[in-house]
Structure 1
């Protein structure tokens, strides 16, 4: 059973803000900064960006997959429901993302490709005017919850890429607030009430920093 879906206007606004935050980050990245370490073990910022871009392209392909089937996951339960038949922990994908990042003649070569995908997604989501359900990775989600999961994905990987880059833009408050909402659903309101800092909560909830049992499978 899924919870009430995220309101579509909330999802649209948070997604637009979060993509704008990612776009601001892209403008600060270059060949040197893309070689900075990330929060993801063994990966550079360039590797994380390639991983995120692959996901955003997959997201683009998900919007047309409309269905009348009932939703079987929501904004929160999506993270604890891996795609049917998925191998864990997904090493093949991570190796592929590294190979994609390394395939560019210069690390900054991927920036224009990512920026183009981001612009297309931002326009597409801004034009969503009515709820519907779609199939994605073997599950069915309300489109607003689908968009919300990608707010979380982008915001957390934004934090991953900036751990060694303190002077670059941070994720927007609205994106991190949606991470808090996502964490509160499985963990409970009391579990997140003591976290005043949404960035710290996002890192703890994904196992990147200590402080709570991870509830988001990032």
Structure 2
């Protein structure tokens, strides 16, 4: 749960520090500009708030790793929900308004996470998780989207090292194998989730795992 707070605070700080002109630059998400990604983060924060106040009485059906639906089909940006995010982002018109909304809703989501009982079971997407597992799963969400945010912004702050390491650990559990030790946590996440193609040398190191990539999380 501490990693949730650390990763979420770092991502919100990275958005807050962006010059307004950077909101029109591409992000690491197919078809999305930085402003579109930030709009998606507002929706994510709302989802966290909704989930944390949706208690469940049944036993947990997922944990932090099995929470993720995995496919090998990279997103194209053509999904209707993706298109809705683009329209929502455009409606803000001024980046400062989008920054304000993320800070407002994002801060509330962060406080709600800190106050939540880790052992409480909550419902989301038709599944049940403990609060601890749900927030742990979101470390992956925040870390990957932090990498998406700065994909074309070389001067922007990187995600926390602890979040990168935990996200790699979760991705390796999803894959059922470890990425080569020569891969940094950042590169394991970028290559493993299809955010960039492996180099020839990396393909050689990956071996049979290269044929199973990418692990697209949703």
Band the TM-score falls in, shorter-chain normalisation:
0.7 to 0.9
8 Å contact kept, 2:40–2:85: yes
Point out the more displaced range, 208-217 or 109-118. 208-217
Matched residue, 2:21: 32
Distance 1:193 1:143, change over 3 A: farther
Which consecutive aligned stretches of 4+ in structure 1 deviate over 6 angstroms post-superposition?
none
Give, in angstroms, the shift of residue 92 of structure 1.
1.4
Deviations 1:92-128 (A, max 9, x none): 1111110110001213320011011221122111223
Unaligned runs of 5+ in 2: 199-209
Matched residue, 1:146: 134
- SS of residue paired to 1:141: strand
- SS of residue paired to 2:123: strand
**Matched pairs, number:** 201
* Whole-Å separation in 2 of the counterparts to 1:208 and 1:23: 21
| TM value normalised by structure 1 | 0.84
* Whole-Å separation in 2 of the counterparts to 1:127 and 1:210: 40
* Whole-Å separation in 2 of the counterparts to 1:90 and 1:61: 26
- 1:46-195 matched pairs, under 5 angstroms: 46-80=35-69, 91-188=79-176, 190-195=177-182
Distance 1:217 1:195, change over 3 A: farther
Matched residue, 2:196: 209
* Whole-Å separation in 1 of the counterparts to 2:81 and 2:59: 29
